[in-house]
Every structure is written in structure tokens, then in C-alpha cells.
């Protein structure tokens, strides 16, 4: 293997059976490939869940060694204007395929970044060249794709990769790379990945650059993230009226460890469900988290806004 290649590329699945967490989709797509009767396809779902990988596997299964000659991948967020549809896409689509499969494939990654004008030009191209080309599109938000394109495609909705599947795949990669990793570290990677297996692989690669014996603390240090237990303790202290003690933990996370305010609020929103307070107070505090996350996003100071949020935790009993 190329030592300098990103592990997300080195361990990219090449068979449908290697695509984890998407069994509800893989079975139907595999049937399309076997029959060689493939419609235009749209893959919608969060980042790192296997959309691009699935498109590449389809191409390899269809064309074998000639897959690169019959498959064109474009990132629509880089080339998003109408001129791309009228030139590059049309030029590729009008040429017949090489081999027994009667059509080529154009894969538009991040297709929801295409401008409305480009999408309207694309829908006519999809009709005019349907005999010689199939269009695969991936997007995070299918609502940003115009209805005429959606109606021309078979839409498959991918979901975030389950934590158990991420732990299993990361464990296999660690074994292949001769890395010792604890079960708690695997759990931390699965937690931090939030369903994005690409993110999990990159965290493992970054952690392995400094040690071949990886523990939970190494993962949180590399990912610049707080442990869920730390955030839970901070909230619990504020709820108990110990504001200054909660503030000490907050300063440790913000200043000493450089964790962003938005990341801390996201962790708080996940951990608050485990705190034993009445539901109506959880709703009140979650609403406050949304307000303060917006303030930080608009340029508010991280420390000031988070201290104000902790003050809301302390005052909730007066509501």
C-alpha cells in the first residue's frame, strides 16, 4: 500500500458486501447491476455514509477493467454552473460506451450545489442522452434538487452509519495496520464520528501517527473534543448551583484544550437527555442552547456566550 495515501482511500470498499450500514439500499442496487437495467440514480444522505463509494462500486461491477473509460466523476460544488452542463457533461454523455454495457455513467457528487439554471439544463440533458448515459447524483439535501430531476431518478436515502458498524470497520483497519486500540477508544471514535465513517477513519489515522497503542484519551486529544462525561459533569454542577465549579470545566475545555464553543454546545445537546430533570426543563434548556449556538455563529464570544448558557442552567429552577 502507498504509505502516504489517505486511509479513506486505502480502505475504500470494492464490493457491495463491504458497504456497511446500508443493507436496505445495497440489495436493490445490486439487483440493478446484475440485470444491467439501471435508471438514473440519486443518493441522498449525510456525509461519510457511503454514497460516493456505492457509485464507484457500481461502475467497477458494470465495466470491470474499463470502468475509468466509462465513468466520469465531477464535484458539483466545484463545477456548478450551466456552462459545465452544456460543455463537459454533454461531451461525455453523447459518446458511446466501451464494452458490452450500452451506456456510460456520469456521477455528480454534491449535486445539491448545482445552480438552478444548471439543474434545468441538466434535466434536458438527462432526457436527450438517456440511451448513451446514466446520471448518478449524490447530495446531502435532496430538497435542493429540483423536482423534475428527482422524478427522473430512482432516489435512495442513505442513513448515518450505526456505531457498531463503525467500531467493527475501524477495528478491522487497526488490525490490518498492526495498531493496538482499546475498546473504549473504538467507542470514542464511533461517538465522535456521528455516523460518518470517513471521519472515523481519519481520526484513527491521525491518532496512529503518534502511537501504535491507542487509548480513549488519545482519541479525544486528536479530535479536539471533550469527553461526554466532562460535559455532563459541567452541566450537573451548574444545575446544582455550583456555577464557578462549572465555569472551571468550561475554561479548561475552551482555553486549555481549544475546543470550539459550537462543539461544546452540540455535546451539551446530546448529553442533556441523560440528565435527570423534568422534561419541560429539558425543553427550556435545549431552546436556550439553540439561541446561544446561533449567537456564537453570528460572531459572539465563545466564553461569554457559554458562561451565559451555564447561567441559564443554574437559573432553570426559577422558571
- List the domain boundaries for the chain: 22-157, 163-222, 228-318
Half-sphere exposure of 267 (CA within 13 A, CB side): 25
How far is 298 from 284, CA to CA, in rounded Å? 22
How high is the pLDDT of residue 277? 85
Query: How high is the pLDDT of residue 291?
Result: 93
As a whole number of angstroms, the longest Cα–Cα distance in the chain is 73
Is residue 152 within 8 Å of 128, Cβ to Cβ? no
The CATH code belonging to domain 163-222 is 1.10.8.60
Residues 98-153: tens digit of each pLDDT: 888 889 999 988 888 888 888 888 888 888 888 889 999 999 888 899 999 999 99
pLDDT at residue 1, as a whole number: 44
For residue 171, with 0-12 CB atoms within 10 Å meaning exposed, 13-18 middle and 19 or more buried, which class applies?
Answer: middle
How would you classify residue 83: left for phi > 0, otherwise alpha for psi between -120 and 50, otherwise beta?
Answer: alpha
Residue 276 CB-density burial (10 A; 0-12 exposed, 13-18 middle, 19+ buried): exposed
**In CATH, 22-157 is 3.30.420.40:** no
For residue 184, give the 3-state DSSP assignment. Answer: helix
Cite the beta strand spans of the chain per DSSP E.
40-44, 71-75, 104-109, 133-139, 153-157, 180-181, 213-214
Q: Which fold has domain 228-318?
A: Zinc Finger, Delta Prime; domain 3 (1.20.272)
- Alpha-carbon separation of residue 174 from 136, 181, 193, 242 (angstroms): 32, 7, 16, 42
pLDDT tens by residue, 13-30: 777 877 888 888 888 888
pTM of the model: 0.76
In this structure, what are the phi and psi dihedrals at residue 178, rounded to the nearest 5 degrees? 60, 45
Which parts of the chain sit beneath pLDDT 50?
1-2
Q: Are 44 and 156 in contact (CB under 8 A)?
A: yes
DSSP string, 64-80: GGGHHHHEEEEETTTS-
Amino acid at each position: 500500500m502507498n504509505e502516504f495515501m489517505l486511509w479513506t482511500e486505502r480502505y475504500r470498499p470494492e464490493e457491495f458486501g463491504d458497504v456497511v450500514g446500508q443493507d436496505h439500499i445495497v440489495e436493490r442496487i445490486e439487483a440493478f447491476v446484475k440485470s444491467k437495467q439501471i435508471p438514473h440514480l440519486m443518493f441522498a444522505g449525510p456525509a461519510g455514509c457511503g454514497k460516493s463509494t456505492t457509485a464507484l462500486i457500481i461502475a467497477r461491477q458494470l465495466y470491470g477493467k474499463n470502468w475509468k473509460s466509462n465513468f466520469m466523476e465531477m464535484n458539483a460544488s466545484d463545477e456548478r454552473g450551466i456552462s459545465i452542463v452544456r460543455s463537459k457533461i454533454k461531451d461525455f454523455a453523447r459518446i458511446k460506451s466501451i464494452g458490452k454495457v450500452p451506456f456510460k455513467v456520469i456521477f455528480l457528487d454534491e449535486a445539491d450545489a448545482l445552480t438552478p439554471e444548471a439543474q434545468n439544463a441538466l434535466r434536458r440533458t438527462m432526457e436527450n442522452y438517456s440511451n448513451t448515459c446514466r446520471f448518478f447524483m449524490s447530495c446531502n439535501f435532496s430538497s435542493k434538487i429540483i423536482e423534475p430531476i428527482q422524478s427522473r431518478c430512482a432516489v435512495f436515502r442513505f442513513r448515518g452509519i450505526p456505531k457498531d458498524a463503525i467500531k467493527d470497520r475501524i477495528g478491522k483497519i487497526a488490525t490490518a495496520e498492526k495498531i493496538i486500540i482499546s475498546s473504549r477508544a473504538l467507542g470514542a471514535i464511533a461517538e465522535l464520528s456521528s455516523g460518518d465513517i470517513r471521519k472515523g477513519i481519519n481520526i484513527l489515522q491521525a491518532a496512529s501517527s503518534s502511537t501504535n497503542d491507542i487509548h480513549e484519551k488519545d482519541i479525544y486529544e486528536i479530535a479536539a473534543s471533550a469527553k461526554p462525561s466532562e460535559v455532563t459533569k459541567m452541566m450537573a454542577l451548574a444545575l446544582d448551583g455550583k456555577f464557578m465549579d462549572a465555569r472551571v470545566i468550561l475554561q479548561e475545555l475552551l482555553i486549555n484544550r481549544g475546543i470550539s464553543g459550537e462543539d461544546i454546545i452540540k455535546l451539551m445537546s446530546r448529553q442533556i437527555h441523560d440528565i435527570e430533570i423534568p422534561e419541560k426543563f429539558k425543553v427550556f434548556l435545549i431552546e436556550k442552547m439553540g439561541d446561544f449556538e446561533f449567537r456564537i455563529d453570528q460572531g459572539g464570544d465563545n466564553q461569554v456566550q457559554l458562561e451565559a448558557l451555564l447561567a441559564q442552567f443554574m437559573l432553570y429552577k426559577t422558571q
